[in-house]
Amino acid sequence: MGDAIRPDASFAREVMALGGEDLQKCYQCATCAVVCPLAPDDRPYPRKEMVWAQWGARDRLLADPDLWLCYQCSDCSVQCPRGARPGDVMAALRKAAIAAWSVPSALGRLAQNPSWFLILLAVPAFLFAFLLGLGRGAEHPWGWAEFAQPTFEEPGPGNVVGGFIFHNFIPHKVIYSVFVPLTVLVLASFAAGVTRMWAAMSRTFPAREGATPRGGLWEVLKDVLVHRHFDRCGEGAFRTWTHLGIFYGFAFLAVTTAATIVLMYGFAAPPPLPFSPSHVVDGLLWKVIGNIGALILVIGTIWAIRRRMHAAPADQRSHFGDWAFLAVILIIAVTGLGSQVLRLWATSAHSAPLAQVAYATYYTHLVFVFYLIAYAPFCKLAHMVYRTAALTYARRIGREPKTA
CA-CA distance, 93 to 50, in Å (whole number)?
10
The residue out of 101, 125, 153 marking a domain boundary is: 101
Q: Is the pTM of this model over 0.75?
A: yes
How many domains does the structure of the chain reveal?
A: 2
The residue out of 101, 126, 151 marking a domain boundary is: 101
Same domain, 27 and 160: no
Same domain, 301 and 341: yes
Same domain, 324 and 391: yes
Same domain, 68 and 158: no
Same domain, 84 and 118: no
Q: How far is CA 143 from CA 134, 174, 344, 361, 376, in A?
A: 7, 10, 20, 14, 27
Judged by DSSP in three states, 163 sits in: strand
Residue 84 lies in a domain: yes
Better pLDDT: 332 or 10: 332
Residue 21 lies in a domain: yes
Phi, psi of 167 (to 5 degrees): -60, -30
| High-pLDDT (> 90) share of the chain, % | 54
Q: Which CATH number covers residue 33?
A: 1.10.1060.10
Question: Which has the closest alpha carbon to 386: 93, 101, 22?
Answer: 101
| pLDDT at residue 20 tops 80 | yes
Same domain, 266 and 345: yes
Same domain, 168 and 275: yes
Q: Which CATH number covers residue 250?
A: 1.20.950
Residue 306 lies in a domain: yes
Residue 401: HSE in the Cβ half-sphere, 13 Å Cα cutoff: 26
For CA atoms 256, 262, 267, 269, the dihedral sign is: positive
Tell me how crowded residue 12 is: count the other CB atoms within 10 A of its CB: 20
Better pLDDT: 324 or 215: 324
Find the range with the poorest average confidence among 60-64, 111-115, 180-184, 363-367: 111-115
| pLDDT at residue 1 tops 50 | no
> Do 129 and 85 form a contact (C-beta atoms < 8 A)?
no
> Do 369 and 331 form a contact (C-beta atoms < 8 A)?
no
Residue 225 lies in a domain: no
Name residues whose C-beta falls within 8 Å of residue 13's C-beta, 6 or more positions apart in sequence.
none
Residue 136 lies in a domain: yes
Residue 1 lies in a domain: no
CA-CA distance, 354 to 122, in Å (whole number)?
25
Tell me how crowded residue 183 is: count the other CB atoms within 10 A of its CB: 14
203-253 pLDDT, tens per residue? 999 988 777 787 788 888 888 888 877 766 665 667 788 888 999 999 999
Same domain, 250 and 145: yes
Residue 223 lies in a domain: no
CA-CA distance, 176 to 183, in Å (whole number)?
10
Judged by DSSP in three states, 2 sits in: coil
Same domain, 171 and 29: no
Same domain, 174 and 66: no
Q: How far is CA 236 from CA 71, 243, 394, in A?
A: 12, 11, 24
Same domain, 174 and 68: no
Tell me how crowded residue 59 is: count the other CB atoms within 10 A of its CB: 17
> Do 31 and 80 form a contact (C-beta atoms < 8 A)?
yes
Same domain, 52 and 121: no
136-167 pLDDT, tens per residue? 877 789 999 999 999 887 666 655 565 688 98
Residue 215 lies in a domain: no
382-400 pLDDT, tens per residue? 999 999 999 999 988 887 7
pLDDT of residue 15: 92
The residue out of 79, 101, 123 marking a domain boundary is: 101
Range of the domain at 71: 9-101
